[in-house]
Each structure stands twice: as structure tokens, then as C-alpha cells.
Amino acid sequence: MRRVAVVGGGLAGITAALALADADCSVDLLERRPKLGGLTHSFQRNGRWIDNGQHVFLRCCTSYLRLLDRLGVRDQVHLQQRLDVPVRSGRYGGVGRIRRNRMPAPLHLGPALASYRWLSVAERVAAVRAALAMGRVDRTAAETDAQSFGGWLAAHGQDARAVEALWELIGIATLNARADDASLAVAATVFQLGLLERTDAADIGWSLVPLQQLHGDAALRALTAAGAEVRLQAPVRGLQDNGGGWSIEGERYDDVVLAVPPADAARLLPDGAVELPAGWAEALGSSPIVNAHVVFDRRVLDTPFIAGVDSPVQWAFDRTLQSATSEDEQYVAISLSAADGLIDTPVADLRELLVPALRQLLPAAADARVKEFFVTRERHATFRPAPASGRFRPVASTNRAGLHLAGAWTATGWPATMEGAVRSGEAAAASVLSASRPSTPAVRFEDTAS
Ligand SMILES: Cc1cc2nc3c(=O)[nH]c(=O)nc-3n(C[C@H](O)[C@H](O)[C@H](O)COP(=O)(O)OP(=O)(O)OC[C@H]3O[C@@H](n4cnc5c(N)ncnc54)[C@H](O)[C@@H]3O)c2cc1C
């Protein structure tokens, strides 16, 4: 029986560990924190369950949905029957909608784009043309990765308004970067797989329970039932090559999967294990996400979420159910991606900025009293998907026998998402099971994804 250590209990490590345990390996999962789930976790505050940040997924996140099935929690998420995003303006009344019909892609978005009220008619026509051109971008080419998404949009006739009210509305939330700061290849992955290739791909899903319950707690149960040993509060400080295997704190393993963030991987990887330029982890970098949590004394939001334009509020979600907040009140989480400018802003200043902005988007909130306002900050929420960042994203197999990598930041082609993390875990498990060695080709996520 192959003995495998998986280091890191986020979605990537959980996926790899489960796949390996299911394949009859003897698996130890070593996680530094007291719980599993990594960047998707929850805590309690004043009797409410709070997620560290709102998470959504799309119907095209097939690997993530498969993981939910394996964890037995698929009934604890909601997936829209049909994509529908209400978009409100901080300046003008009315609701714009990004939604689909049942036509084959990309026609399924045509009527919504043609009537999208936050763009002029000329901007809508230009947006349709650019969307069709986006469908033809070669997302796997290195030249595409080197280009900026913002530069491509400008070259395809998208003015500042179209970028703000349409492309970045989706782009900032999925890429965690502004268009000018994002690789065209990563953006094309999101728009092609999410919006342009399949009619139902962009239907949005979200958890109906706290993320901790959906991922970390369910994974602990599933891993234990599959015979894996989960060790919490078990930080790995080093790996020793024992010739034909690896040792961690004196325990011997045939294989190790490092499913930790880039900076931790760079510290733990032996010299020459990956062919990346020196300083690759710093060069890849990270990008922050801030969530502002607002509890109102009454209901103010009549849909599960809204997106905002002409507003500092990017997206706002109804969190009343998941947090176990009383139905007389309403708990709304404002999600702010690519939040470099806000990550260190004091809570009082965020409140002054965001509560009036939310009231502008939600007329029903005009007279509502704010009972609680607090903020969660994730400084290293995702890697920075900058132009040419692909060269800092290694594949699952390394140059060292028995050493494998996973994590949303590895070479999945996706931005840092739950889907990317799960795909990377699948690729790492495949790398272990194919007993890949330096002479064999590297395992890429394309080899394992369905
Ligand atoms: C606020 C926020 C909002 C987000 N929104 C979305 C969204 O809407 N949709 C979406 O798809 N994605 C979203 N993401 C991204 C998504 O959460 C991540 O891409 C994904 O969870 C990363 O999983 P991972 O397993 O690759 O990494 P991580 O979750 O970072 O897991 C790595 C684990 O390794 C552990 N570790 C590190 N070093 C060691 C060590 N030496 N020894 C042992 N353990 C170690 C860490 O404690 C951690 O548990 C969001 C992220 C954040 C922070």
C-alpha cells in the first residue's frame, strides 16, 4: 500500500487526499490549522455563523460539484435554474439584468445584452462583437497569457463604461483583479467556459449552510470514513528526502502532495524541484478580498444577491439563512474583490463608504437601522492573475520523484477558484497514482478533468 502525506487541508488537499484514499493509498492529511477547509471557512460571532468571505460557483464547475457529491453535501447548495444577475446602479433607479434564455450558446445571452440598461445601445452592440471575439481567443497560448485583459478589451472597442458595467462586473469577482491587471488567458478561461460555450454554464450556485459545514466538517467525516488519518494543528516545517521516499517529522512516505499556498510551497520545496524562476512565489503574488457584513433591522434585499454599478459595492448577498439570523432582520454581506485599496481601511471608514452606498442600491434600506457592521479581510485570498503569471504556476508533478503539488495557484488554467483548487487536487492525485517520475511528462489538469 502506497503511503502518502497530503500537506494542507484546503479544497485542493481535501480532494487529493480523498481521491488517494479512495484508490486504496494509506493517506495522512496534515493541516496547520485546527480545522479543514483552508480559505473557505466560517466562525461564530454574536450567535451568527459568518463565512470568511462569500463564495459562489458556476454550473461549469464540474470538479467542484463532483467533490460536493463525494462529500455528500450536494443538497446543501443552491444552483440557479437559469443565470440571472440583478444589477443595480448607485446613481440611477431600475434594475439591469444579466440573464440567459434557453437558446444555444452564445445566443443565450443575446437578448440580455441587447437590453442591458447600464450600457448605451452603441456600447451593447460593441459588447456583443467583443463577446464573440472573446470566444475565439486561444486561452492556452503563452502570447495570450502575456496580454492584459484590459488591453484586449480596449482593442476590441470597449470603453470605460462597458468595462465597468459589464466586463469587470464579472471579471473582478472571478479573477480577483481589475481588467488591466489580469491575464487575457485567465480571463478568456472564465468567459469562454463560464459564459460563451454552454448555455447553462454560468448558472450561479452558493452554499445554503456555513462554508465550514459544507467543506471542512464534511471532509473530515468523509476522509475518516475512507480510512485517511487527518491530523489538525500539524504544521509541516520541512521534508527530508530519504532516497526513494520522503520523511516528515520522522514518518516515512512514498509520496508527498504539497497542497499549501505558494509562499509555503516555495519554503518547503527542495532546490530544483520545480523549474520556475528564483523568487517565483513573490512574483506570483497575492490579491486581497474584503467582505463587509451588515445586519439590518428588517428585510432590505428581496433577491439572493445583487451586483452594483456606479457604486463601491461590487456584489451584495443575503446571508440571513446561512448565518442563522432571525427572519425579522436581514444580514447582507458585501463582497469586495481586488481590494488592494481597502484591505487596510479602518472599519469605521468602510462603514462610512459602504452603508450609504448599499442604501443607494437598495431603496428598502433607506430607513433601515444597521444593527451590526463588521469586516473580514483576506490579504492573500488568491494569487494575482497578472499578465504572464502563467509562467509562475507549476504543474502537479515535480522534478523530484514522489513529490507533487496542488493548490488553486498551480497550472490549472483557471483563476484561483474552488474549481481550480479541486482540479489541482485531482491532478495531484493522478500524478501520485501514475507514479510519475522526472522522465514522464508532467500531469496537467487537462489530463484529468472530465
Ligand atoms: C474571501 C474569499 C472569497 C472567495 N470567493 C470565491 C468564490 O466566490 N468562488 C470561488 O470559486 N473561489 C473563491 N475564492 C477562492 C477559493 O476560496 C480558493 O481558491 C480555494 O479555496 C483555495 O483552496 P486551496 O486548497 O488551493 O488553498 P487553501 O485554501 O489556501 O489551503 C491551503 C491549506 O494549507 C494549509 N497549510 C499551509 N502551510 C501549511 C503547512 N506548512 N503545514 C500544514 N498545512 C499548511 C493552510 O492552513 C490551508 O488550510 C475566495 C477566496 C477568498 C479568501
- Beta strand ranges found along 236-329 (DSSP E): 240-241, 246-248, 251-253, 255-258, 286-296, 305-309, 315-318
259 CB under 6 A from ligand 1?
yes
Cα separation values, 339 from 251, 295, 333, 363, Å: 41, 22, 15, 26
- Each residue of 377-396: b (16+ CB within 10 Å) or e? bbeebbbbbbbebbebbbbb
Beta partners for residue 201, in sequence order? none
Cα separation values, 161 from 95, 127, 155, 174, 360, Å: 17, 11, 15, 19, 19
Q: What's the rounded Cα separation, in Å, for the pair 172 and 176? A: 5
Give domain limits for the chain: 3-43+211-284+387-448, 98-196, 286-383
Cell of 75: 443538497
Residue-wise pLDDT for 278-294, tens only, equals: 999 999 999 999 999 99
Residue-wise pLDDT for 126-164, tens only, equals: 999 999 999 999 999 999 999 999 999 999 999 999 999
Residue 416 CA to ligand 1 centre (angstroms)? 9
33 CB under 6 A from ligand 1?
yes
294 CB under 6 A from ligand 1?
no
The architecture (CATH level 2) of 3-43+211-284+387-448 comes to: 3-Layer(bba) Sandwich (3.50)
220 CB under 6 A from ligand 1?
no
CB neighbours of 406 closer than 8 A, spacing ≥ 6? 6, 8, 12, 13, 15, 16, 257, 258, 259, 396, 421, 424, 425, 427, 428
Amino acid at 227: G
Reply yes or no on whether the pLDDT at 444 is more than 60.
no
51 CB under 6 A from ligand 1?
no
Q: What's the rounded Cα separation, in Å, for the pair 135 and 196? A: 6
Order of all β-strands in the sheet with 56-58 = 56-58, 204-207, 77-79
189 CB under 6 A from ligand 1?
no
Asked whether the CA dihedral 193, 178, 341, 297 is positive or negative, the reply is negative
Q: What's the rounded Cα separation, in Å, for the pair 179 and 150? A: 4
How much is the average pLDDT of 52-74?
A: 98
Residue-wise pLDDT for 33-61, tens only, equals: 999 999 999 999 999 999 999 999 999 99
CATH class, 286-383 region: alpha beta
Total number of residues shown for the chain:
450
SS3 state of residue 4: strand
What is the secondary structure of 52-80 as a DSSP string?
SS--EEETT-HHHHHHHHHHT-GGGEEE-
pLDDT of amino acid 298: 97
Q: Is residue 4 marked as binding?
A: no
How much is the average pLDDT of 292-320?
A: 98
Minimal-distance CA residue to ligand 1 atom 12: 417
Amino acid at 215: H
**327 confidence band (pLDDT: 50, 70, 90):** confident
Q: What's the rounded Cα separation, in Å, for the pair 77 and 213? A: 11
- Name the least confident of 154-158, 242-246, 356-360, 422-426: 242-246
Q: Among 15, 32, 39, which residue has the most ligand 1 atoms within 8 Å of its CB, making it the best to mutate?
A: 39
